[in-house]
Chain A
Amino acid sequence: MPIVSPGFTGRRQSPDVQLPPGQYLTEDFPVLTAGPTPRVPTDRWEFTVSTEAGQKHTWSWQQLIELPAEKITTDIHCVTKWSKLRTRWKGVSLDVLLEDVETAADFALVHSYGGYTTNLPLEDLLDGQAWIAYRYDDDDLTPEHGGPARLLVPHLYFWKSAKWVRGIQLLLEDEPGFWETAGYHDYGDPWREQRYQGD
C-alpha cells in the first residue's frame, strides 16, 4: 500500500459542491494530449456525418458557423480525476446537425483530425446533450483545447468530448474508440465512476 506523503496535496482545491466520485476540483484547464496537436485551418476544416447506409453529410466551416448556435455553461469531468465547474462554450447542437440524417444506427464513432476516435451511443448525442463547440470563454477555441472545433458531451467523461472533431460515423454495432480499446469504459458516466472496462 502506498505511504502517505505528509503535506502533499497536489494541484487541487477542496470542493464546495458535490463532484462525481473520485473527482477533484481544478481552476485551470489542464491540457491532455495523446499526440502532436493538429493545426487545422478553418478553410480546410470539414465535418462529416456518415450513416450505416454510406450516406454522407458534410459541412464546411462557414456552413457550421452559420447554423444556429447555443451558449452552454456546464461542468466537465476528466477521467484523470479533475473536474472543472461552470465552463462556458458556444457551439452547434448535434440535434441541428443530425436533423436531416436518416439512420437506424444506435451507436456513433467520433473521428478527429490526428486520428483520435471515441465511441458512444447515438442517443447520448441527441436531446440537447451534445454540441460541436467552437468557442470557449468568449474566445475561439485554441488548438490545445481542440480547436477549431471539438465535440462537447459533458455528461460523460471528457475523453468522449473529442478534440479536433472531423466527423461522426453512425453504426449499427458499437465499435470501441482510441481509449476504449485500451481499457477505458465504453460509456463513461462520471457519476457511476465508469472509468475502466467492467467498472
Chain B
Amino acid sequence: MSDHVDGNALAGDLREIFAVDLTVATGQCAGCGYRGSVATLRVYQNAPGLVARCPHCEEVVLRLVRAPGRAWLDLRGTVSLEIPLSS
C-alpha cells in the first residue's frame, strides 16, 4: 500500500536489533524540534528501506535498511532519543 503507517510498525524490525522497544522512546526532530514518541512518526514502508518522517515537518528522522545479515540505521534527523528503561 502506498499510504504511510505509524511508527508502531517499526517495532518488530527495531526489536530484531535492540533489546528494548524503541517505539516508546521519545525522539526530537532535528528539523523542527518536534518531540514525540517514535510510534507517532509517519512510516513509509513501500521503499527499499523503512523511512520514518516527522509528523510535524515531514523531514526524515529515522531510516532502517535491511540486507541479508546486516542492517543500517540512520538517525541523523533525530537530535536524541529518550529511552524508558525498567529499573
Contact = CB atoms under 8 A, between A and B. Distances in A.
Interface of A: 30-36, 79-80, 115, 144, 159, 179, 181-184, 195-196
B39 to A, nearest CB: 19
Contacts of B49: 34, 179, 182-183
Interface of B: 2, 4, 44, 46-49, 51, 53, 58-60, 63, 65, 67, 70-72, 74
A31 B4 CA distance: 13
B10 to A, nearest CB: 14
User: By DSSP majority rule, is chain B's interface helix, strand, loop, or mixed?
Assistant: strand
Given A182-B49, A182-B72, A35 B67 contact: no
Contacts, number: 50
A53 B9 CA distance: 45
8 contacts: A33-B2, A35-B44, A36-B58, A179-B48, A181-B74, A183-B70, A196-B67, A196-B70
Given A31-B2, A34-B51, A182 B63 contact: yes
